[in-house]
Amino acid sequence: SYNDTGMLQEADAGILFCPPENVIKEFPQFPVSQNYEEFKNIILKIRTTLNK
């Protein structure tokens, strides 16, 4: 939701979980997950990137 996007922009990394299409379009900098398996895979990828 829009309430969370400010917090995500301040974080080291952010993921949109099951967002509506308008949020996906407005915040393309965030990866999108539609289920928990995708969410887990994105977290693992981000974790690897942040640990470098």
CB distance 16 to 33 below 8 Å: yes
Encode the chain (52 residues) as per-residue pLDDT tens digits.
678 899 999 999 999 999 999 999 999 999 999 999 999 999 999 999 888 7
Looking at residue 1, its amino acid is S
H or E element at residue 37: helix 36-50
Residue-range domain boundaries for the chain? 2-50
pLDDT score at 1: 65
What is the per-residue pLDDT for 2?
75
* Spatial separation of the C-alpha atoms in residues 7 and 44, rounded to whole Å: 20
Is 0.75 topped by the overall pTM?
yes
For domain 2-50, the CATH superfamily is HAD superfamily/HAD-like (3.40.50.1000)
